[in-house]
Amino acid sequence: MTITAAADGSALGNPGPAGWAWYVDDAHWQAGGWKHATNNMGELKAVLELFRATAHLDDDLLVLCDSQYVINTVTKWMRGWKAKGWRKGDGKPVMNLEIIQELDEVMAGRRYRFEWVRGHAGHPMNEAADARARAVSEAFQAGRPIPHGPGWPREDVETDAVAGVSQAASASRPLAEIPEPEIPDAEIAGAPDDTLAPDSELALFSLDDPDLHEVTLWLTDDEHIRLHERARQEGVSAEELLRGLI
């Protein structure tokens, strides 16, 4: 069996707020980033985390990548750099060395191949990875929670790295996903009838203003990314896109 995945990076300003992401499908993707990094770092990190996330699987890996730098690094240059003590042909040190050395380790013994795809050309998987990487860089820029994604769910023993991703992802989930505390039946039975009045702070609509009504909508990480991706495609804000559905 072959796992086909897209990997991509994003950096606003390059360098600047940066993100990386790999994508297989809506149930298998992961993203992350830095407050300040380069696009090449994001491109490399996306591939690194893809190999880490699939390390427990005995499958071939096809990596779709729009970065010639990444493809040449892992398929042509890395072996020579390593033989020269991680120096390039002109004797200068290799850039992004830490990530590249980690890639060299995780790729050892794996069955894989890389395929170049043109970026921003409508390739569905590449666009999905790009949207998720950009969402992270924009989240860092705006100070919003980072959409980490589900990663590659594992039913066996989780490693510390996977557990760390799960904890980081749960930290960015909306409050609506946090379970409500259980209330004893006796307290429920004795509650006054107006506990569910329309002006409750848990109500969906705020009717204090006769002209404007506030709607609170909690989205999953994936739903949030799809919303902003569609808004970007239509050239409007996310708020304008939602208002247009009414």
Task: Say whether 120 is catalytic.
Answer: yes
Contact by Cβ (8 Å): 55, 158: no
Q: Pick the catalytic residue from 32, 49, 66, 127.
A: 66
Contact by Cβ (8 Å): 2, 53: no
Q: Pick the catalytic residue from 120, 155, 180, 235.
A: 120
Token couple for 223:
């739903």
Residue 147 to residue 29: CA distance in whole angstroms: 11
Task: Say whether 9 is catalytic.
Answer: yes
Give the amino acid at 138. Answer: E
Q: What is the gyration radius of the CA atoms in the chain, in angstroms?
A: 22
Task: Say whether 199 is catalytic.
Answer: no
Q: Pick the catalytic residue from 19, 32, 43, 149.
A: 43
Contact by Cβ (8 Å): 136, 229: no
Task: Say whether 156 is catalytic.
Answer: no
Say what angle helices 124-142 and 221-234 make with each other, to 10 degrees. 100
Task: Say whether 214 is catalytic.
Answer: no
Residue 212 to residue 242: CA distance in whole angstroms: 15
Buried b (16+ CB within 10 A) or exposed e, 15-32: ebbbbbbbbbeeebbbbb
Classify 30 as helix, strand or coil.
Answer: strand
Q: Is 8 exposed, middle or buried (0-12, 13-18, 19+ CB in 10 A)?
A: buried
Task: Say whether 193 is catalytic.
Answer: no
What is the rounded (10 degree) CA torsion for 42, 16, 230, 147? 60
Which sequence positions are flagged as catalytic?
A: 8-9, 43, 66, 120, 130
